[in-house]
């Protein structure tokens, strides 16, 4: 596992009882940004949006790629 994943797993273990800590590990299934899909999003996009709407807090643990943000994270944002 990556250091990012291990960090998230550690946070999850420290989460108080009654608080849900979801590690969303399907970002790689999101399609590349395409404005033509705005009105007809894929099921993966709908699931991602649903998770975001239900969250009170979002933590991104991401690798650094060439001193920048990876394409997968950019698509998620």
Q: Give residue 1's pLDDT.
A: 72
65, pLDDT greater than 80: no
Q: Is 6 helix (H, G, I), strand (E, B) or coil?
A: helix
Cα separation, 35 vs 37, in Å, equals 5
The model's pLDDT over 7-63, given as tens digits with 9 standing for 90+, comes to 999 999 999 999 999 999 898 899 988 888 889 999 999 999 999 999 999 999 888
Q: Give residue 19's pLDDT.
A: 94
Q: Give residue 55's pLDDT.
A: 95
Residue whose C-alpha is closest to residue 46's, from 62, 25, 61, 31: 31
Q: Can you give the pTM of this predicted structure?
A: 0.77
Q: Give residue 67's pLDDT.
A: 83
Sorted by where each begins, the domain ranges of the chain are 3-76
68 forms beta bridges with: 65
Cα separation, 45 vs 56, in Å, equals 19
């Amino acid at each position: 596992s990556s250091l990012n994943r291990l960090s998230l797993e550690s946070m999850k273990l420290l989460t108080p009882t009654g608080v849900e800590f979801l590690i969303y590990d399907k970002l790689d299934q999101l399609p590349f940004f395409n404005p033509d899909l705005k009105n007809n999003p894929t099921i993966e996009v709908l699931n991602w949006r649903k998770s975001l709407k239900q969250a009170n807090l979002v933590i991104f643990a991401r690798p650094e790629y060439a001193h920048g943000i990876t394409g997968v994270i950019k698509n998620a944002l």
